[in-house]
Amino acid sequence: MKRVSLLSTLGAFALAACGGEPDTASLDGEPAPIPPAATAEELADMQVTLGSLDGLTVDLTDGAGSGQMGERVTLLAAYEATGDFDSDGVTETAVLVVTEPGGTGTFTHLLAARTGADGVVEQVAEKLLGDRQQFHRFETKADSLLIELTTQAPNDPMCCPTRRAQQIYVIRDGQWRLWRDNTLSAAPPDIQDGVVRRDSSVPQAGPVRSGGAGG
């Protein structure tokens, strides 16, 4: 009985030295709660950083904001998709923003954001897609992002894109990666499980890229 009493006393001192009661959630093996996906209102007021524009950082208010040099940044609210794009068990929200830095260019950036542990929506990935593109589909396919757009063919001027394509993106190492890029014919190729099934009758826009390759 004295041995048990001594062990109990030592245990009490150990708990006191560690700052009080043990973390029962850790002892019970309970996982930390997963934050909910960001709402449209939170996305419209988040801070965005555009590495492709020399790290331009803008605080959006109701979906729009301006940089120090007058660069205009606008969230395209019509395009939003949620999924676990980096396969880490937490949901991200993919969105598009357009920047007008001056001149004739209107550049579209693909962003991903999620709610952090502190409840604040934070950007987790960004990629410049191009200039003056048109977007037709923007949706989740098996934890990847499908974008159907009209973009520039190799010989198109920037003003006048003519190539309609389906592109699939995933997030790897904190960056959006282009996983598939297929030029469309009149009938789009089938999409199953996030993979565009190649059709030999459809002209390809260069080599098909696989996950992990740079985009």
Gyration radius of the chain over CA positions: 24
Q: What is the pLDDT of residues 149-206, one digit of tens each?
A: 999 998 999 999 999 999 999 999 999 999 999 999 433 444 444 444 433 333 333 3
CA distance 23 to 174: 31
User: Are residues 133 and 105 in contact, defined by beta-carbon separation less than 8 angstroms?
Assistant: no
Taking residue 55's Cβ as centre, other Cβ atoms within 10 Å add up to 8
Rounded to the nearest 5°, which phi and psi values hold at 74?
-130, 130
pLDDT band at 25 (very low <50, low <70, confident <90, very high): very low
Contacts of 148 (CB under 8 A, 6+ apart): 135, 136, 137, 138, 164, 165, 166, 167, 184, 188
pLDDT band at 103 (very low <50, low <70, confident <90, very high): confident
pLDDT band at 4 (very low <50, low <70, confident <90, very high): very low
Q: What is the pLDDT of residues 114-161, one digit of tens each?
A: 998 888 999 999 999 999 999 999 999 999 999 999 999 989 999 999
SS3 (DSSP) at 187: coil
DSSP 35: P
Q: What is the DSSP string of 73-141?
A: EEEEEEEEEEE-TTSSSS-EEEEEEEEE-SSS--EEEEEEEEE-TTS-EEEEEEEEEEES-EEEEEEEE
